[in-house]
Structure 1
Amino acid sequence: MTSYLHFAREMRLGRLFRHGDDRLLITPLDHSVTDGPVVPRGSSVDRLTGQLAAGGVDGVVVHKGVLRHIAPSRFAGMSLIVHLSASTRHAPDSEAKYLVTAVEDALRLGADAVSVHINMGSADERQQIGDLGRVADLCDRWNLPLLAMVYPRGPGIRHPQAPELVVHAATLAADLGADLVKVPYVGNVAEMRDVVAACPIPLLCAGGPRRGSGTDVLAFVRDVLLGGAAGVAMGRNIFQAADPRRMAARVAGVVHGEPQPHKADETEGQRDERTEAVLA
């Protein structure tokens, strides 16, 4: 039986892993602070979030201010992860990350979990690792799940997807108290299995840069799962798709083992008018 002291944490993790299959599809939307707007022209963050929910995404990562522009009903069947870290690509050191939201504020906003970003090997690593430790302590106090996004990045990092670096990133997150970790995919199923085997917490692979087609995206997700990962945290390849809802549904189908529609990949650019009417 779950300890009373950990009841809230288990409840929130249960919302994230709502399918009961230990698999997870997260869509980060925090790129808007780092790189600029993520919402397609003519749409809105509320509409995009609705498309992700309709497509079966398990949780989205957003910054606190974005929630002012999203209807709470979008999270009826999807978890809210509030991102605590920020930086922009225009900074002198774009690999430096700073905390911009408190754990208590995320709780007040209704978060099911929070996330922090750490660039392992960066010039600012000391601050970022310290922030991770402090956030983990607060999450433990409030029984709030913590997702650590850890990337090998810095002056001395030549091959950020090297297995020895990715496994270090994963175990760093676990050792400092994270409940989940997001790391780069190492590019090889067998080596990914070794990374996962060394990590005692659920591991998600970052979706990475845009891929050539929906077929390429799904092939990547299958390799990630064959490598033993719990799922993917996929942003650009979903929210930049011509039809984010359909792309999310296709990825969710792979992650959760549901049958895939047998349609030509070219239909990726076509929108489902019935769903568009519901989400409008």
Structure 2
Amino acid sequence: MIKIGTKTEQKNASRAMFGLANFKIFIFTLVFGIVLIIRASRNCTRSLQWPLPLIILGVFLLLISVVGFFGSYDHGSFLLRLYLYVMFFIITALVAFIVFAYVVTAKGSGRSELNRAYRDYYLADYSGWLEERVSGSHWRKISSCIRDHSKVCKKMTRGVGETADMFFLRTLKPIESGCCKPPTECGFVYVNETTWDTGGGFVGSSNMDCTRWSNDQQQLCYSCDSCKAGVLASLKKSWRKVSYIYILVVVFLVIAYLGGWNSLNIQLENKK
């Protein structure tokens, strides 16, 4: 009688812990999925944020957490086995995504410029895979969104008489630095935040962005490689932040996965 009671208590405790873990996974995935959708809908780089694959993965995680919860009460252990197989796939996919995100964002960062608080950004500093994500039709959509929807450059102007020295001491965001002003190496003379005296041409630089720059507020440097690099720099920061969350998710999923194996072992022992 003591052994039966001990096994029963062990089984109930295992069910409770496993069920609670899957309930937490369900709630976290639901909340995180909603936040991800909202952020993606407001972001000009939503096509680069991998919202659809991650949302699909989140849906699988929602469903499998429910399967795991009921699987802990499934004496036939079919649902629990299904849970373990699918959970292994999800964990593997998340680990692969994290590794991929770190590999493709390993290269690239802003370059410091003399007497400037802000950094300049160069497309050549980033991986080829990321460069392809900001080319052709992809870039036309992103650049038009930055110009017409986000209005980053318009918001950058302070509407006061800011001198060149004051502007050079500003810490600009990557997109502001890359899209709203010409590269420092062009040698253009500052007039205001988004207007620069080109002196009739670029000065001693082979950077093609110097010829792409325009004081037309609808053009600026939206067609520049520096603008693309600024977008990728922002994307890199975003991916790194998200990857930290996914690392925590993977750790939690591994714990739940091990709990599933424990529940399965208990069920198999009770059948003997």
TM-score range, shorter chain: under 0.3
- Determine which structure has greater relative contact order: mean sequence separation of CA pairs < 8 Å that are 6+ residues apart, divided by chain length: 2
TM-score w.r.t. the length of structure 2 is 0.22
> Which has the larger helix fraction?
2
TM-score w.r.t. the length of structure 1 is 0.22
| Rg larger for | 2
